[in-house]
Structure 1
Amino acid sequence: MGDSSVTPRLGSLKALLGIVAGAGASYGIYKLISRHSIKKNKKSVTSESAGDRISSQPSDSVMQPGSLLARVSGMQVICPQRSDASSEITHQSPSNMEPKHLKMLLLCLQSSNNTSERCKILLTLGNSAAFTSNQNLIRESDGIPIIAGFLCDPEPDVRVQTLNALNNLCMNIQNQEQLTVYVPQVLELIEMSQMNSDLQLSALRLLTNLSVTDKHQHLLKQSVTLLLSLLVVGSEALQVQALKVLVNLSSNPDMMDDIVQAQAPASVLLLFDAKTAQPVLLRLLTFAGNLKAWRPSSQVADELRRRRDCLFRVLLDESSQLHSKLVQLLSHPDGEVKAQ
């Protein structure tokens, strides 16, 4: 499972959450950005070496007679011809893709040295993956590991398009089985990326689709602390996306023990306010409603009360300020908010 690889990274967020709880979201942003800078420096060597490997591939010479592309096409293919072929395919309607088109795009993706070209190919593959037949064809062509390999691409735009393509491929039960192995890597991208970036949003969208059913939710049980921290430091768009994942997880009773034990910033309570954006507030109330439906034994409740920073203490304990916050929201001008 990916739990053991995710736990060390999430454990490093404990300092962040303690500071956010005591000093507010502004200092939490500083900690996230600081941590991102450190990790970015650590990753620079890996990114440079990956770039070296890519640039070492031939770009303007005739491909070797024994190469895969040469065998598939039945003739020697030079890169300009390959680029023209991929360009022609990317202009076709995604619904009209044939197996040969998808296979050619996957081949071009693997051999491309150009960031713009990789983005266009990934965009085309992602658009084509909106159709069930293409989702199956890409999987049967071993396209999922090929596409997922670009989660490590040094260019953020390429990683975003990779996540978007995987997100569409995820709308297929058989594809999800292959995609689960990349959950730790996707969580790492969320943790390392710049706050409120397209990269974080795309990664959260993928996790949202993976967590729609109960089958793979256990892979995210160690991510609750990360998701809660994004709520108090993220933009409205990021808050909504993080809450979609939290609502999915909290809808599963088997996940509740892990959720209520997760470390949580006390400042989550501040979001239960009339000033909070309605899309965020509605999902936050849905999440809280799922938590309230959980009924722990007195022994479990007593044990959780001894954990000062856990979500149970912040939102569910008798000492929590959530009840008074909810009473105030009964006078909210939005009817949906009051009903929720």
Structure 2
Amino acid sequence: MGDGSVTARLGNVKALLGIVAGAGAFYGIYKLVSAESFKRNKKSANSESPSVRSSQRCEVTLKPGSLLAKVSGLDVACPRPVDAASGDIVHQSPGNLEPQHLKFLLSRVQTANNQSERFEILLTLGNAAAFTVNQNLIRELDGIRIIAAFLFDPAAEVRVQTLNALNNLCMNIENQEQIKVYVPQVLELIEMSPVNSDLQLGALRLLTNLSVTDKHQHLFKESITLLLSLLVVSNEALQVQALKVLVNVSSNPDMMDDIVQAQAPASVLLLFDARTAHAVLLRLLTFAGNLKAWRPSAQVADQLRQKQDCLFRVMLDESSQLHSRLVQLLSHPDGEIQAQVARILT
């Protein structure tokens, strides 16, 4: 019985040693497989695109409770996803951009040496800024300052996209508080840019949004002459946009003193004509109606008559030809035009 007990114990020891040896063998195999898998993953991580790397999965999976899992106690190495390149983000739908995407784009555009990359990033940011949530996020990420820095980028197309992005951001009242400081630069862009260019149109659209309420209209006191000059040299699109700004600021009685003193080209009266485009003429009449509603004192009127070529003398003084041109427009074929003229004359 003693010999049997010893034999049994020896058998148990051998069995235990067999299990340990087997586990050791499995562990050795696991280490070998893990090492090879890690090498393959590391190699592929250096050669594949970010989108591929971000979706890659481990090749070795440890099932809970398996021998390999119990013996090794090690995690399987997997390549970590990396940040998506700006080229991947700019092709996403603007509504799908998340805060980290906007943060990445704002950071990237500041270091982009390539003109086309700056253009694409600003285009994407501008499209994203059409959404209210992104308007707030971009402001909170200091994006308005970052974007506005490209107002004088060497490339005209980059400047256009900068204006478009600021224009969309300007739809947010809180953003206007930051954007208003760039009004002098935007006005300078209008003066420096070719007539009828996309730059002028983009700048005027931005100014239109900023001038909707009377809160920022005082910023346009020095720009009235520029806007009036655009009316006589620009195409219909720019005329309409310039008139939108003029109509906005002239609706504010506090702005009228500055408006009527501004120098104005006498040829602006030639636009009060039946051949003028409907969209232009309608807004021009609205602007004239705002001016006519202003009633200066006799003393102020006398002072204004002393100013050569000021808007008061061109459009409001008794010597102005505006009245006779308005009378002719009473026979305009469009009923809306006729109604506007009648309101001004009465």
SS at match of 1:215: coil
Q: CA deviation at 1:308?
A: 2.3
SS at match of 1:125: helix
- Give distance in 2, aligned partners of 1:115 and 1:333: 50
Q: CA deviation at 1:111?
A: 1.1
Q: How does 1:174-253 map to 2 (within 5 A)?
A: 174-253=174-253
Matched, 1:254 2:232: no
- Give distance in 2, aligned partners of 1:286 and 1:202: 23
Number of aligned positions between the proteins: 260
SS at match of 2:295: coil
- Give distance in 2, aligned partners of 1:298 and 1:131: 51
- Give distance in 2, aligned partners of 1:246 and 1:148: 24
Q: Specify the alignment match of 2:134 in structure 1.
A: 134
Q: Specify the alignment match of 2:328 in structure 1.
A: 328
> Could you say if the C-alpha distance between residues 83 and 111 of structure 1 is closer, same or farther in structure 2, counting changes exceeding 3 Å?
farther
Q: Which amino acid aligns with 2:249?
A: L
SS at match of 1:263: coil
CA RMSD of aligned residues (A): 1.4
Q: Specify the alignment match of 1:115 in structure 2.
A: 115
Q: Which amino acid aligns with 1:103?
A: K
SS at match of 2:149: helix
Q: CA deviation at 1:244?
A: 0.5
1:152-200 per-position Cα deviation (integer Å, ceiling 9, x unaligned): 1000000000000000000111111111111100000000001100000
Preserved contact between residue 82 and residue 108 of structure 1 (Cα < 8 Å): no
Matched, 1:270 2:292: no
- Give distance in 2, aligned partners of 1:162 and 1:113: 16
> Could you say if the C-alpha distance between residues 208 and 82 of structure 1 is closer, same or farther in structure 2, counting changes exceeding 3 Å?
farther
- Give distance in 1, aligned partners of 2:297 and 2:314: 18
Q: CA deviation at 1:85?
A: 1.4
**Which structure 1 segments of 5+ residues have no match?**
1-80
Q: Of the two structures, which has the highest relative contact order with CA contacts closer than 8 Å and spacing of 6 or more?
A: 1
- Give distance in 2, aligned partners of 1:206 and 1:176: 10
Preserved contact between residue 211 and residue 248 of structure 1 (Cα < 8 Å): yes
> Could you say if the C-alpha distance between residues 140 and 104 of structure 1 is closer, same or farther in structure 2, counting changes exceeding 3 Å?
same
Of stretches 93-102 and 186-195 in structure 1, the one that deviates more from structure 2 is: 93-102
SS at match of 1:187: helix
Q: Which amino acid aligns with 1:166?
A: L
Q: Specify the alignment match of 2:169 in structure 1.
A: 169
- TM-score scaled by structure 1? 0.75
- TM-score scaled by structure 2? 0.74
Preserved contact between residue 126 and residue 168 of structure 1 (Cα < 8 Å): yes
Preserved contact between residue 204 and residue 241 of structure 1 (Cα < 8 Å): yes
SS at match of 1:151: coil
1:54-73 per-position Cα deviation (integer Å, ceiling 9, x unaligned): xxxxxxxxxxxxxxxxxxxx
Preserved contact between residue 83 and residue 108 of structure 1 (Cα < 8 Å): no
Q: How does 1:1-340 map to 2 (within 5 A)?
A: 85-340=85-340
- Give distance in 2, aligned partners of 1:141 and 1:168: 16
- Give distance in 2, aligned partners of 1:309 and 1:151: 33
Q: CA deviation at 1:83?
A: 10
Q: Specify the alignment match of 1:59 in structure 2.
A: none
Q: CA deviation at 1:82?
A: 9.9
Q: Which amino acid aligns with 1:129?
A: A
Q: Which amino acid aligns with 2:180?
A: T
- Give distance in 1, aligned partners of 2:305 and 2:226: 21
- Give distance in 1, aligned partners of 2:182 and 2:306: 35
